[in-house]
């Protein structure tokens, strides 16, 4: 497909330029969100202190397990922890002290520097869904994801104005051997998009491949000094750090690349059923994880992660958009800020099997709480379906449209003279109409966020046009975006070098499918 795109670009000259002008799609990427609104804080000072104290008690008295990882145990022992077998008990205050060397914000560079993002502070960076083995769309139904699906999602993310980040495993390309698919996924992010992306975490060697490919893309000298990947390191909650994830994290930390250290919690199963109890465990886990990250390389960028869902006590299924998950997300944001770490949480979470009303209620609940809880990096911000088993094409563009709402909300309320609009109120007066007044004419283009998807036509028009629901409108938008996709330029020497790396790596290993 890289070739096909190259041919398309190669047709070149005036015809292509005219075609590009005619297209109704402008490939525009919004700057990451800079909040001009406060964070919503549900924990009182007293509650924060109780939870922070309890987390230290958990680390000291219960401890955490570092599995099959003697080097990690050695690092902990040297740092002053009490190591018995694989159990690491961390004296009060030690983990928090170790975390203090992690930066409170950092830049992740994109190959298109205009799309580099600053993660931390009052910013929020939005990245798409991560991890589903299945995809779904209206035409094809639910099916195993393939590399072609993956590439389609990368293109959609590239074309989506409100997405700042290309993400990582947008879906699992199950048609590519498991030990080689990370190479194709990285290649897709690097060549089909120019937004920042994530590295592989399924084995230390694959993290190393990610670093090596980034050295080709960004330059051998650039990578060790600058962050070009943010990768997802899940903690095996409760309080277990497995060698696979830690192996990948060690590679990234050694290379100054960012990691999200993220408890993966289904409340009631991997954490207590109470909000305060879950927050205690989340904090303990993140403290241990980030502390270990800093033991590997002090100053490496690390993000306080919290993936939280509740459990349906009848079926055992995870549930989304629930009040308990929201309270935990708000609370974890406060804990992250007090630790001085960037915060990752929330997303387009839902349990629904279809991109229907259930999916949208749950997703909107989660997106809103993500913005207000002070999330700095929102993975899964669009496309998530069925508890994360499915990446849905229609929902991807539906959610991506809603991300514009978050951008609008984050602007806050300016009160400069133009915003005060006193001339307009005087001009219009009682019983008048603002549509024609000078202030409206001067400001209407930028005044309101505008959907690219939803329908606000009169009922009769909508009915005549086929009475389409949101999913049907989204099908059209997916097709439209893909039809208008144009691959971003890349130095052919770099493209060739990347392709060569992938080819050599693939040849060096037999296929593995599990």
Taking CB under 8 A as the criterion, which residues in 130-149 touch its own copies?
A: 142
Q: How far is the CB of 80 from its own copies (least distance, A)?
A: 19
Q: How far is the CB of 198 from its own copies (least distance, A)?
A: 26
- Reduce the DSSP state of residue 101 to 3 states and report it: coil
Among 12, 38, 80, 299, binds its own copies (CB under 8 A): 38
Query: What are the angstrom distances between the C-alpha of 211 and each of 154, 242, 246, 248?
Result: 20, 21, 16, 11
Pairing of strands 82-84, 87-89: antiparallel
Neighbours of 479 (CB within 10 A): 12
Compare residues 216 and 239 and give the one whose CB is closer to its own copies: 239
Contact between 405 and its own copies by CB under 8 A: the answer reads yes
Q: Is 354 in the site for its own copies (CB under 8 A)?
A: yes
Instruction: Kindly list the distances between the CA atom of residue 509 and the CA atoms of 15, 186, 210, 348, 512, in Å, as whole numbers in the listed order.
Output: 44, 18, 16, 36, 9
Q: How many residues bind its own copies (CB under 8 A)?
A: 130
* 251-290 binders of its own copies (CB under 8 A): 267-281
Rule CB under 8 A: choose which of 454, 500, 504, 511 binds its own copies. Answer: 454
- For its own copies, the closer CB: 14 or 429: 429
Distance CA 271, CA 267 (A): 5
Choose, by CB under 8 A, the member of 139, 467, 503, 509 that binds its own copies. 467
Contact between 386 and its own copies per CB under 8 A: yes
Block residue for tokens 């991997």: 270
332 binds its own copies (CB under 8 A): no
**85 near its own copies, rule: CB under 8 A:** no
Does position 313 interact with its own copies (CB under 8 A)? The reply is yes
Number of Cβ atoms within 10 Å of the Cβ of 339: 21
Among 260, 326, 346, 391, binds its own copies (CB under 8 A): 326
Helix (H) or strand (E) holding 182: helix 181-192
Which regions of 353-457 does DSSP assign to beta strands (E)?
377-378, 384-385, 390-392
Of 177-185, 202-210, 251-259, 318-326: span binding its own copies (CB under 8 A): 318-326
Please tell me whether residue 475 binds its own copies under the rule CB under 8 A.
no
Question: What would the 3-class secondary structure string for 187-255 be?
Answer: HHHHHHCCCCECCCCCCHHHHHHHHHHHHHHHCCCHHHHCECEEEEEEEECCCEECHHHHHHHHHHHHC
We find the least distance from the C-beta atom of residue 448 to its own copies, in angstroms, to be: 5
258: Cβ contacts below 8 Å, ≥ 6 apart: 106, 108, 119, 227, 229, 230, 231, 252, 300, 301, 302, 303
Which residue number, 395 or 505, has a Cβ lying nearer to its own copies? 395
Stretch in the footprint of its own copies (CB under 8 A) among 22-30, 50-58, 150-158, 207-215: 50-58
Bridge partner residues of 33 (DSSP): 124
Annotate 271-308 with DSSP letters as a single string.
B-SSHHHHHHHHHHHHHHHHHHHHHHSTT--EEEE-EE
Q: Is 433 in the site for its own copies (CB under 8 A)?
A: yes
| Range 172-211, binding its own copies (CB under 8 A) | none
* Residue position matching structure tokens 């989204």: 474
Of 442 and 503, CB closest to its own copies: 442
- Beta-carbon contacts of 11 under 8 Å, excluding residues fewer than 6 positions away, are none
Tell which one of 440, 475, 484, 486 touches its own copies (CB under 8 A).
440
Quick one: which of 112, 202, 205, 240 contacts its own copies (CB under 8 A)? 240
CB of 108 to its own copies, least distance (A): 26
Q: Quick check: 439 binds its own copies (CB under 8 A)?
A: yes
Of 256 and 319, which has the nearer Cβ to its own copies?
319
């Amino acid at each position: 497909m890289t070739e096909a795109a190259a041919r398309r670009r190669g047709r070149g000259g005036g015809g292509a330029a005219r075609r590009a002008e005619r297209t109704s799609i402008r490939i525009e990427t919004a700057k990451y969100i800079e909040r001009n609104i406060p964070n919503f804080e549900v924990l009182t000072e007293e509650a924060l202190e109780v939870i922070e104290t309890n987390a230290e008690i958990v680390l000291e008295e219960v401890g955490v397990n570092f599995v099959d990882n003697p080097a990690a145990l050695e690092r902990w022992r040297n740092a002053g922890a009490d190591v018995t077998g694989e159990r690491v008990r961390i004296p009060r205050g030690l983990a928090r002290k170790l975390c203090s060397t992690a930066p409170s914000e950092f830049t992740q560079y994109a190959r298109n520097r205009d799309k580099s993002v600053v993660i931390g502070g009052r910013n929020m960076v939005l990245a798409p869904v991560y991890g589903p083995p299945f995809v779904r769309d209206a035409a094809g139904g639910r099916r195993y994801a393939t590399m072609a699906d993956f590439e389609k999602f990368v293109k959609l993310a590239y074309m989506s104005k409100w997405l700042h980040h290309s993400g990582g495993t947008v879906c699992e390309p199950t048609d590519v051997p498991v030990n080689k698919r990370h190479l194709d996924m990285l290649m897709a992010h690097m060549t089909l998009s120019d937004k920042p992306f994530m590295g592989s975490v399924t084995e230390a060697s694959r993290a190393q491949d990610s670093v090596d490919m980034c050295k080709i893309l960004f330059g051998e000298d650039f990578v060790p000094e600058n962050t070009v990947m943010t990768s997802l390191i899940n903690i095996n909650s409760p309080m277990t750090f497995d060698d696979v994830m830690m192996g990948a994290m060690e590679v990234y930390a050694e290379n100054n690349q960012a990691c999200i250290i993220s408890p993966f919690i289904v409340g009631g199963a991997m954490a207590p059923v109470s909000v305060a109890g879950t927050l205690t465990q989340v904090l303990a886990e993140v403290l241990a994880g980030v502390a270990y990250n800093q033991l590997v390389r002090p100053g490496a960028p690390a993000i306080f992660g919290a993936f939280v869902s509740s459990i349906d006590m009848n079926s055992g299924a995870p549930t989304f958009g629930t009040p308990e998950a929201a309270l935990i997300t708000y609370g974890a944001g406060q804990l992250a800020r007090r630790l001085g770490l960037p915060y990752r949480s929330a997303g387009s979470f839902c349990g629904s099997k279809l991109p229907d009303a259930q999916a949208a209620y749950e997703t909107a609940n989660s997106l809103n709480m993500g913005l207000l809880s002070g999330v700095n990096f929102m993975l899964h911000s669009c496309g998530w379906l069925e508890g994360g088993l499915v990446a849905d094409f229609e929902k991807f563009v539906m959610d991506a449209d809603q991300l514009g709402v978050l951008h609008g909300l984050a602007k806050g309320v300016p009160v400069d003279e133009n915003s005060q609009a006193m001339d307009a109120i005087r001009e219009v007066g009682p019983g008048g109409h603002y549509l024609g007044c000078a202030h409206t004419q001067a400001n209407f283009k930028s005044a309101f966020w505008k959907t690219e998807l939803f329908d606000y036509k009169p009922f009769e028009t909508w009915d005549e046009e086929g009475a389409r629901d949101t999913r049907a409108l989204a099908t059209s938008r997916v097709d439209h975006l893909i039809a208008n996709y144009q691959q971003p330029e890349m130095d052919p020497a770099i493209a060739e070098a990347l392709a060569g790396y992938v080819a050599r790596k693939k040849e060096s290993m037999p296929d593995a499918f599990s």
